[in-house]
Amino acid sequence: MQEAMIKICGVRKVYRIGTEKVIALDRIDADIQKGEICCIFGTSGSGKSTLLNQLAGMEKPTEGKIVIDSVDITKLREEKMAAFRQKHIGFIFQSYNLLPYMTALENTALPLMFQGYGKKEREARAARLLKMVGLGERLSHYPSQMSGGQQQRVGIARAFAANPDVIFADEPTGNLDTKTTAQIMEMVLAFARENRQTIVLVTHDPEMASYADRILTLIDGNIVKDERKDKK
Amino acid sequence: MSFFDIMQMCIRNLYRRKGRTALTVSGVIIGCCAIVIMVSLGIGMKQAQDQMLAQMGNLTRITVTPSPAKDAHKTLLDKKAVKQMGQLPDVTSAIVKNTLDLGELQLTAGEKNRFQNASATIIGIPEKDLEKMGYTLTDGKYPKNRAFEVLAGQHFAYQFTDSRRPEGKNVVDYWDNEDAKPFFKAMGTELSVAEKKQKKTSEPGENQTASSVAEWKEIQKLKIVGQLKENYDAGEETGSGLIMRLSDMEKLQKQIQKISGQKKAKEYSQVVVNVKDIKSVEQVENMVRQMGFQTYSMESIRKPMEKDARQKQMMLGGLGAISLLVAAIGIANTMIMSITERTREIGIMKAVGCFLGDIRKEFLLEAAAIGFLGGSIGILLSYLVSWLMNHISSLAPGGGDMDMMAAGGMDMMGGGSTVMSVIPLWLAGFALLFSVFMGVAAGYYPANKAVKISALEAMKS
């Protein structure tokens, strides 16, 4: 059996609001394998967003450790974390989070630019990705000139631009209609399966959860259910 | 992230907020312009002052005269003292400049001692130092071969009265009439040092023409071999005086002493000490004073003027600095505003994997670019303003430079008019560098603030 892509060991996160302690994550243990499409499912307040933030290295857990691709990211300093994120992590956000003053092409190439790739190289790759998500005609459009679905497709292209090992998707279709949701999800899954990339999908929508291979259900900071779907 | 990408992003961000960038930049332009113009005024003032001082006399020259004390133990301004002065640090030369006391004797020229001069200034300078005095020969050469060859000042010939002309018409007035010709041409003339012997006459009516009946006893012939250009900087003897070799003068002195019964002078009347540079003048002057002599140099005038100029410069520079400080606050404010607006973008950049260092660099570069832009335009504007000021001040003749003209003295203003504002290259370079530096300094706090933005918080908004 190969080493898990993401290992979550006894992660606990406690926020201090004034004098009161709020336990967001009680104790989380889980392994996520390479190539797995894993859904973290829970209602609002269940701690699923907090868990995502810990996994993506945006916050440090109060206790426990998170190992991604054999690197303990809870021990990485901010600068190292940025470098790690560049190589290993992609993000898809609910609100797309594109830079408004950059074109679709530039937004897609952003992670590559941060890594120091030259303009030609990174934009060639970005253009290819945008064609794959069906935006080949809109390379030089700005986010404000595109629909939500189109913007999210740029977001997907950006997430895959640096060919990361893990992609975190936080309610990626929360702002989209059902038809577009299906398109977007199919697209993400197709990309991931092609390169055996791991997807961590965070949602409160059971419909969305059905796209995943595995569903971790979170209630009050604990994993209460871990179901696997049989692969076809 | 390559530097080129950071730069491109920075330009894009500045361009995105054109209005605000333009306003902030104009703040820097005004600040930079203010400081450059203020300092340039100071420099212009200093230059005018230096020019004026240079016209008033040689700044590195100390004139030494004997101590006025009468006691027997005082240090004499003699050969030994001159040698000592010449050996002081930073002294380039110590030159004897002795004045001959003609006593009752006169200088005469022309047929039968027709032209006479009883008050000529006669200066003796060692032969080897003659060429170091900074004289300019307009005609002839320096005395070289024969004894009693002399140099004449530019207006020397005008100092003579013509004994054959009636009172009131026997001098040439060259002060009021520059074109007036003297009675004779000085160059090549043979002069006599002569003693006037009044003939005893019994008729009282003949007193008026006494000179014509006077008899002359010639003591020494002098030959003018060179004529000098008047230059008060080198010494006033270049005007109406006569200059001879010190060795000749000493011989002449002996002859005069024989006739008049004067005692032999133990001291030189004057020694000129030339100093290497202005900075050492004060020090050398003090040392010479300690030797027991009286000194005079431009230092006593230059010092307070320089202090005054420095104070004014500081004040002007300070005024400029205040406006630049205001501009710096403007930059900081703009950057902070920009960060508040861009919180979300910064968060996205962080989440997508931008290095903190790159974010910081981007913001610092933006601030530096504002400084650079403002600085460059400010300098161009300063040159324009400076040119306008100089132009306008030269249109109104005299205007602000009146006092300097007066002090500069008469017709010696010759070399170039003074300007109000001078922007040397170093000032422009310094102002540009300072503007950029100020931009970076003002952007430092905002940049760090940007780096500290939590990606998480930023994304929620």
| Residues A53, B352: C-beta atoms closer than 8 Å | no
**pLDDT beyond 90 at B157:** no
Interchain pair A85, B348: CB under 8 A:
no
Mean pLDDT of B345-350: 89
Q: Report the pLDDT value the prediction gives residue B263, as an integer from 0 to 100.
A: 76
**pLDDT band with cut points at 50, 70 and 90 for residue B178:** confident
* HSE-CB for A176 with a 13 A CA cutoff: 23
Strand B61-65, strand B271-275: pairing: antiparallel
**DSSP at B77:** -
The CA-CA-CA angle for residues A24, A27, A29, to 5°, reads 125
Averaged over B228-248, what is the pLDDT? 84
CB-CB contact of B272 with B246 (8 Å): no
Query: In this predicted structure, what is the pLDDT of residue B381?
Result: 95
Say which range, A148-162, B72-86, B239-253, B409-423, has the weakest mean pLDDT: B409-423
Q: What is the ipTM of this complex?
A: 0.89
Quick one: tokens of A179?
């038809």
Q: Which residues of A touch B458 (CB under 8 A)?
A: none
| Contact (Cβ atoms closer than 8 angstroms) between residue B382 and residue B32 | yes
Residues on chain A touching B456 (C-beta within 8 angstroms): 53, 58-59
* Yes or no, beta carbons of B13 and A101 under 8 Å apart: yes
B352·A118 Cβ contact <8 A = no
Q: What is the mean pLDDT of residues B393-416?
A: 47
A2 pLDDT band, cuts 50/70/90, is low
Contact state of A118 with B13 under an 8 Å Cβ cutoff: no
Query: In angstroms, rounded to a whole number, what is the distance separating the alpha carbons of residues B66 and A192?
Result: 104
Pick the range with the lowest mean pLDDT from A182-191, B165-174, B271-280, B405-414: B405-414
Tens-digit pLDDT profile for residues A27-76: 999 999 999 999 999 998 888 888 988 998 888 999 999 999 889 999 99
Q: Please provide the size of chain A in residues.
A: 232
Q: Which two tokens stand for residue A207?
A: 């419909």
B344 vs B360: CA distance, rounded Å? 16
- Domains, chain A, in order of start with CATH, read 34-60+77-228 (3.40.50.300)
Distance of CA B409 to the CA centre of its chain: 14
Residue B414 predicted with pLDDT over 70: no
List all residues 6 or more positions away from B245 whose beta carbon is below 8 Å from its beta carbon.
B124, B125, B126, B127, B130, B143, B149
For residue B69, the model assigns a pLDDT of 78
Calculate how close chain B gets to A180, using CA atoms only, in Å: 23
Tokens of B377: 């335009």
Question: What one-character-per-residue DSSP string does A173-185 give?
Answer: TTTS-HHHHHHHH
Question: What percent of chain A is predicted at pLDDT more than 70?
Answer: 98
Distance from C-alpha of A121 to C-alpha of B131, rounded to nearest angstrom: 77
This prediction has a pTM of: 0.70
User: How high is the pLDDT of residue B320?
Assistant: 84
- Phi then psi for residue B406, to 5 deg, are -65, -45
Using DSSP's 3-state secondary structure scheme, residue B309 falls into helix
Rounded to whole angstroms, the Cα distance separating B336 from A139 reads 32
Query: What's the sign of the alpha-carbon dihedral B136, B141, B144, B150?
Result: negative
Nearest to B355 among A82, A100, A118 (CB): A82
Alpha helices (H) along A89-136: 104-115, 119-132
Q: Which residues contact A158 (CB under 8 A, 6 or more apart)?
A: A90, A98, A107, A108, A110, A111, B352
Question: Does the pLDDT value for residue B405 go beyond 50?
Answer: no
**Distance, CA of B75 to CA of B81 (rounded, Å):** 8
Do A97 and B358 make contact, defined as CB atoms within 8 angstroms? no
pLDDT given at position B366: 92
A and B: number of Cβ contacts within 8 A: 62
Q: For residue range A193-219, what is the model confidence (pLDDT) as tens digits?
A: 888 999 999 999 888 888 899 999 999
